[in-house]
Amino acid sequence: MKTVFVNTVPGLRETWPIEPMSKHLPKWINIARQDYIQNKHTKKNHVFRCHGIADLYKAGFVIRSWHDVEVTADENNISIRRPNKLESEYAVDVQRGDDIAKFIPKRPWSSKSILKLNTPWHLISSTRFLMLPLPYSDDHVFEACPGVLDPSISTEVNVQAYWNKQGTHLLTAGTPLCYIIPMCEQTIELEMRDATSKDLEWIQKRHYVNSMSFNLNIQKIKQFFKDFWKD
């Protein structure tokens, strides 16, 4: 099965598509490259020659913010404001530090609440993906929470983020949010498309399967995913 990013909001694919991490290198890498070129004759060890870092930027894809959101945060709480015309089904959520996010460790400087940025993307793949913060980022306003995205359990591409800045900050559309890396050795064949009738059928049906019980039936969901996309 190919890895397919399905978008349910027309216009998003053309405006803020899923892109390889190699297109979103932090600024410090170009600065390091120039320094390495200028001082290559010294033959000293240089961070620009670190394969562990260089290969990291070749492995996966970047998920970006698909709309502006104004975030106001303090030590305990986060509140948000977004464009008025934006459809509410893709709302930005806050996982409160005294509720669902209570037991998740935070940086000493982070808000105790966690920001959840929902996107209209769905990932259809037989491969699981690591969801990671942007590696060696220039910006430390927020940091994506790590996790595993298993499309056979949930195809939704949503980003949870530690929020590290107190006061008000505008997170603009197109801002890289997180890095996802396929958990396999094979080369991933990537496709992006607006949702087809079958994609929309899947989204509608998976909503029922996810909602039918008080406790999520993961084995039932996995089998449903496998049967639905087997062709």
pLDDT given at position 59:
85
Question: So what CATH class is 3-23+61-195?
Answer: mainly beta
Higher confidence at residue 3 or residue 177? 177
Residue pointed to by tokens 């027309």? 10
As a whole number, mean pLDDT of residues 156-175 equals 95
Give me the helix-helix angle, 197-211 and 218-228, nearest 10°: 160
**Helix, strand, coil content of the chain in percent (nearest 5):** 25, 30, 45
pTM (global) more than 0.85: yes
Residues 4, 191: contact at Cβ < 8 Å? yes
The 10s digit of each residue's pLDDT in 142-152 is: 999 999 999 99
Q: Residue 168's closest CA among 85, 78, 94, 93? A: 78
Q: Residue 202's closest CA among 193, 190, 215? A: 193
The 10s digit of each residue's pLDDT in 184-209 is: 877 788 899 999 999 999 988 888 88
Most confident of 45-54, 167-176, 213-222: 167-176
pLDDT given at position 175:
95
Q: Hey, what are 174's tokens? A: 């197109």
Q: What percent of the chain has pLDDT over 90?
A: 62
Which H or E run contains 200?
A: helix 197-211
What's the CA gap between 5 and 64, in Å, rounded?
13
End-to-end alpha carbon distance in the chain: 9
Q: Mean pLDDT score of the chain, rounded to an integer?
A: 90
Q: How many CA atoms lie within 13 A of 189 on its CB side?
A: 3
pLDDT higher than 70, residue 122: yes
pLDDT higher than 90, residue 167: yes
pLDDT given at position 24:
92
Amino acid at 23: K
Most confident of 23-32, 185-194, 209-218: 23-32
Torsion of CA 9, 199, 174, 157, to 10 degrees: 130
The 10s digit of each residue's pLDDT in 41-67 is: 887 888 988 888 888 888 889 999 999
